[in-house]
Amino acid sequence: MVPLLLGACAKDVVGTARGVIEADPDNIDFGQVFVGTEASKLVTLSNTGRSQVQVRASDFPSGYDMRPSELSLAPGGRAEVKIAFFPLREEPFDGQLKISLSNAKNELITLDLKGEGVKRVVEVVEVLDFGTIKLGDTKTLPLDLTNLVEKSVNLTLSITGGSDRTAFRVDDGAVELPGGATRAIDVSFTPANRGPHAASLLLRPCASCQDVRVQLVGSGGATMLRPSPSVVSFGTVTPNESKTNYFGIQNVGDFPATVTSVFLVPDPDRDPAHQDAPPTEFSVATLAVPFVVQSSETVQVPISFKAEAQAEPRKFAKIQVMGPDGLYFEVPVDGKSGGIEVEADPGTVDFGRQPKNFAAKKTFILQNIGESVAIELYPPSEPANYTVAAVDGTSAPWHLNSQNANTMAFEVTFKGSELQEYPAELDFPIYVNGAMSAEQPYVTVHLMANVVELPPCDLDISPSSLRFGAVTVGRGVQLPIEVTNQGTTECLVWNFAVESENRVFAAPGLPNGSKILAPGEKISVGIRYQPTRITGVIDRANLYFNHSDVETPRAVVPISGLATSFCLSADPNPVAFGPVPAVPQSLQVYKPFVVRNCGTDVVKISRVSMASGYSQRFTARSDEALPVTIASNGTKGFLASYKPLDLVRDVGKVEVWMQGVDEPFLVETQGQGTDEACGVLCDWPTAICPAAGQSVTVNTQIVLNGGAYSPGGHPTTCSWTVASAPVGSSVRPVGTGCTPTFTPDLVGNYVFELMVTDQLGNRGACQHSLTATPWGGIWVELFWDNAGDLDIHVLNEDRAPRQNQSSWWSNADCYYGNCQRGSLPSPLWDGDANATASLDRDDIVGTGPENIRINSPSLTHAYAVGVHNFSNARTPVTGTTNIYCGGNLVHNATSVFTATKQFEIVGSVQYNGSTCIYTPDGTRWSGFH
């Protein structure tokens, strides 16, 4: 390992506390990698110093990335970063990855990177699809391999892809391909499980070459029939009458299935009185067998029940559906001849595990599914720890008749104080015509509860506070709060409630009673916010629930929202990125969204930000410079980006702030980091910027030489924008497409963004830097803050003194009247065109810039710089003047004009061959020219 140390090799001075970073390795050779693919290697960063260091990749050579791009290393800490190489052209990619360090002995370390993009040497299909194969069967397909080069290639073959790889087989471990030849190899698929299988066949042309990948896909299939419905119940049939029901034979398998017989058999488990033959009341239609049920087809089978002449107990049987290999399935059937039959639904009310001293409630219904007669139900004897009452609040006796559809709902409450099980029964006496029924004296409801104490919960509550932001009056918005058990043991939660000072918040479907969350399990609580009037203050509420045990404080989730008269909507909302590659290379992707003003009032958007408390892997910005105004029914464009760092689902919230509103309008963003092949979902376009930054002399035209690459081959468009520029610059790229021109108008640093968009609306971006340097000699530039006409002047003080008003607006002065569009003051200054000032830019209606240059200034006299407010009535207006000599900034000055026709002598410069001696002046004349 070669350490890249921050600073010299000497020991730290006692008392210092700086970090020292070492990289292992400090150089990487990726060798040859196919164009359009990726390769990655790990680098270990170690902090051997005595202070925490912030590490950030600050300069990426073309074709490389570092993941993560930012991290923090504590003293003694180590971290692995992935260096990814993704060549987009067929050429070498050599360069240095620069890593900036904060709080370290040196500000920078570098990694030497080397790699070459090469074309594929083997042509092969990307996907080999075996289709659906019956479990246990084998299908073999040929795979054609074509050598694209003239030289013979020896391919090493291997199959990868987790457990699915064992379902695929290739007999040859190596294949020799002569130059230009095509050869077929056999690949086999034997599914062991039903459902899709996937693996990858890797072809390696040489030991140092990148693998060529062929995706192997296939599905295991089975013959499978099931009944629908799974049980046929005739209920109670009037004596001497018949009733016919149907069940379906559904083919939910992958292949046609043959049915050889459908017939009735006894059900001795439910009907011991009929051990040898099914009850004669049942009959099934005679079907022409055998018959075939196609995949996804359903064949209906009629079955009948003929009631006896008098009331009889319920009868039971089964229908067996057979195939060539035996039984497909059985369908239980039941029916009753006349009489009453009161039953409980559910028959057993199971409270499950409950905390101590919590009043848990559950409901059940009692219904007469037999003959419709007037029935009275009397209250049962209540066992300890249980109480029961009618849901509608009526007192006993309770009636089951045609007026309530022979059904009544009851609520049973359980409360236990000891750690034990609580089995019990509720026996409701049944009366018919004033006397207890001899046919059915009681209906019984079985009860069960278990009071337990579980280990303390380790819960993740997301979000930890629910924020609706600004919501239009009269509109309802519902958002979830998810409670996840992130511990390793079961967790008990109960007693969910929403408490607020007003009724603008609601929780439809709030969990009732208690719930056991298994490790990794979550429960979602939907909260609805619907403000009815503007109060000028933020509405607040809290979601409460208990967990762990009765002594643990209740969990509290604050909820907030603000009623507003403005109406905004976003399309799409949420902005869903879907799966995005996180490894081996983290890809930053972009999606646009629009915000519509659905109200009548004009809305002014003041800023856009990402909400805290959510994933920060997202960013958002406005397409236009903020603030922006959205008219009624108008829209404005925004752009969200996502760069995953881990294989997790990320959720973010974009805050769109409205002027005069204390809460933002919220737009949700969603994305999933992935390391798997996801086909067209991951075919994000890639923007290709120039490999290195550029440096040109100001006012010199360059070409922004960009490009775009779409892995899916989708058509793409390019758009260059200026991300940052020197203050006062107003120039933009000229032309459309990937290669517009640009002419910097001020000295300083420019950053451009190339945004590429495919036909699916997916976007990719990259940035490119440009440094504009001043001309040699003297360079003077002027810009101002309010649009209008200001002018820059440079005076040759050898020809006229700067303090005389008549010196200005003469041929001793370079200004708009004598010094632009190829004209120069006459006679030439110092007898030389290169020693004569030239006005390159003049702006009348904007905010500049303007500039004057002297290529070869005199060494024997000075030059004065003046600024004139010719006609800019948008006062006060502030002009900024920058003066460069020999390529260096020697003075920066601002001049504030309160009226037109004001003139200020900024100062005087004396050139000495490499820089200038600057003398300030400040003389000001009003009503001048």
Tell whether 836 and 905 lie within a shared domain. yes
Examine residue 738 and state whether it is found in any structural domain, yes or no: yes
Examine residue 51 and state whether it is found in any structural domain, yes or no: yes
Tell whether 657 and 714 lie within a shared domain. no
Output the six-digit token pair for 287: 């079907």
Tell whether 783 and 921 lie within a shared domain. yes
| Domain boundary, last residue among 640, 666, 682 | 682
DSSP-derived secondary structure for 535-554 = -SS-EEEEEEEEESSTTSPP
| Domain boundary, last residue among 221, 247, 264 | 221
Examine residue 9 and state whether it is found in any structural domain, yes or no: no
Map 328-339 to HEC letters: EEEEEEEEEECC
| Domain boundary, last residue among 118, 141, 175 | 118
Tell whether 811 and 895 lie within a shared domain. yes
Q: Give residue 589's domain range.
A: 568-682
Q: Look at residue 412 in the predicted model and tell me its pLDDT.
A: 97
Tell whether 794 and 919 lie within a shared domain. yes
* Claim: this prediction has a pTM higher than 0.95: no
Task: Give yes or no for a contact between 489 and 454, defined as CB atoms under 8 angstroms apart.
Answer: yes
Task: Give yes or no for a contact between 175 and 155, defined as CB atoms under 8 angstroms apart.
Answer: yes
Tell whether 415 and 359 lie within a shared domain. yes
Q: How many CA within 13 A on the CB side of residue 304?
A: 11
Q: Which residues pair with 284 in a beta bridge?
A: 303
The sheet carrying 838-841 orders its strands as 838-841, 850-854, 778-784, 877-885, 888-897
Tell whether 763 and 865 lie within a shared domain. no
Tell whether 782 and 906 lie within a shared domain. yes
Burial code (b: 16+ CB inside 10 Å, e: under 16) for 407-444 equals: ebebebebbbeeeeebebebebbbeeeeeebeebebbe
Examine residue 7 and state whether it is found in any structural domain, yes or no: no
Examine residue 731 and state whether it is found in any structural domain, yes or no: yes
Output the six-digit token pair for 655: 């805050």
Alpha-carbon gap, residue 513 to 900, rounded angstroms = 78
Stretches in the chain below the pLDDT threshold 50: 1-16
Tell whether 808 and 905 lie within a shared domain. yes
Tell whether 93 and 172 lie within a shared domain. no
Total domains, the chain:
8
Alpha-carbon gap, residue 428 to 412, rounded angstroms = 13
How many helices (H) and strands (E) would you count in the chain?
Answer: 0, 75
Tell whether 793 and 916 lie within a shared domain. yes
Question: Which three-class secondary structure state does DSSP give residue 165?
Answer: helix
Q: Look at residue 11 in the predicted model and tell me its pLDDT.
A: 34
Examine residue 16 and state whether it is found in any structural domain, yes or no: no
Which amino acid would we find at residue 594? V
Q: Look at residue 17 in the predicted model and tell me its pLDDT.
A: 56
Q: Which residues pair with 111 in a beta bridge?
A: 97
Question: Which three-class secondary structure state does DSSP give residue 202?
Answer: strand
- DSSP secondary-structure letter at 13? P
How many angstroms from the chain centroid is the CA of residue 303? 53
Tell whether 752 and 737 lie within a shared domain. yes
- DSSP secondary-structure letter at 104? B
Of the candidates 480, 637, 467, 653, which has an alpha carbon nearest to the alpha carbon of residue 573?
Answer: 653
Contacts with 311 (C-beta within 8 Å, 6 or more apart), sequence order: 239, 337, 338, 339, 371, 439
Contacts with 425 (C-beta within 8 Å, 6 or more apart), sequence order: 383, 444, 445, 446, 447
Q: Look at residue 8 in the predicted model and tell me its pLDDT.
A: 36
Instruction: Kindly report the CATH number assigned to the domain that includes residue 403.
Output: 2.60.40.10
Examine residue 15 and state whether it is found in any structural domain, yes or no: no
Examine residue 6 and state whether it is found in any structural domain, yes or no: no
Task: Give yes or no for a contact between 510 and 495, defined as CB atoms under 8 angstroms apart.
Answer: no
